[in-house]
Homo-oligomer: A and B are copies of this chain.
Amino acid sequence: MMLVLGVDAGGTSSRAVLSTTDGTVVGRGTAGPGNPTAVGGPAAIRSIGTAISAALGNHDPATVLGGVVGLAGAAALTDPAGFGSALGLTCPIDVVGDAVTAFAAGAAAPSGAVLIAGTGAVAARIENWRIGRTADGLGWLLGDEGSGMWLGLQAVRAAARSFTSGGALVTRIAAHTGARSCDELVLWATRQPPKAFAELAPLVCTSDDPVATRITTEAASRLVATLGELGAPDGPVVLAGSLLTSPTPVRDGVLDRLSPAPTSTSRDPAAGAAWLALRRTLDLDAGSAAHLHRTLLG
């Protein structure tokens, strides 16, 4: 039995999928953050290696024909070519941008576009499984508009602006932050790392306060504008990231604004990476590649 590995290495966790050549998942592993920009190259390689070891279990590493690792900040790796050997593998390991694995986890096509909204937000054209032009992805201070961090920051701004007049959103934010006054909320905000604002996103997405609705509507509008900066995509549009793959008002708003454009939802990016590894390793025709895509990600 010959195998391939797919890895999705993110700022929160690294996940590995081990698949047979007929698309059957035979192992999964999870470990800590694997984004070299966030945690540094050596720590990222350790996390990714831990996730791969867990996915391999008792399988012989020599039976792994190839692997694909999708990660943000691939440019921060000092030796991408030596990535596989650093992980104890002898097979070829390709490193691709996480937008590529997110796209592959939603569509079997070689080209199109992916709109990602999780902690951050970015849109990318995908051209033959490579990242082309991108939009936003500028970080919480300058952009990531419509992302979890953006939603949380807008909610805290709105709450600070109307702290005394109150409302459902203010009550929730006061409870989350422990702030009893506008001044305490301002102080809380200045002491948070930017990612802490993303923790408020679920609270905004599940509130029916009109202010929360205004914020999620604006998030959807900005995400669609970000995607629009890329021009007409040359293939399907894949929605990825927690805000666009789970049933949130942001996802609903994006779908409303994009329809009737053909879109699909990114499923498991690690499985998307495993599918890319199958494609690259097995020299598949289009029909077989689509069949394996349905098997792994359908």
Chain A residues at the B interface, C-beta cutoff of 8 Å: 136, 138-139, 141-143, 153, 156-157, 160-161, 182, 185-186, 189-190
Contact = CB atoms under 8 A, between A and B. Distances in A.
B186 A157 contact: no
22 contacts: A136-B161, A138-B157, A138-B160, A138-B161, A138-B182, A138-B186, A139-B186, A139-B190, A141-B153, A141-B186, A141-B189, A141-B190, A142-B153, A142-B156, A142-B157, A142-B160, A142-B185, A142-B186, A142-B189, A143-B157, A143-B160, A143-B161
A138 B159 CA distance: 11
Contacts of A153: 141-142
A195 to B, nearest CB: 14
Contacts of A139: 186, 190
Contacts of A182: 138
A294 B206 CA distance: 57
Contacts of A157: 138, 142-143
A136 B161 CA distance: 7
A189 B139 CA distance: 10
A50 to B, nearest CB: 29
Nearest to A154: B142
A101 B186 CA distance: 25
Nearest to A225: B161
A189 B143 CA distance: 11
A136 B157 CA distance: 10
Contacts of A161: 136, 138, 143
The 6 closest A-B pairs by CB, nearest first: A142-B160, A142-B157, A138-B160, A142-B189, A138-B186, A141-B189
A35 to B, nearest CB: 16
A136 B163 CA distance: 11
A109 to B, nearest CB: 26
A136 B162 CA distance: 10
A157 B161 CA distance: 22
A190 B140 CA distance: 10
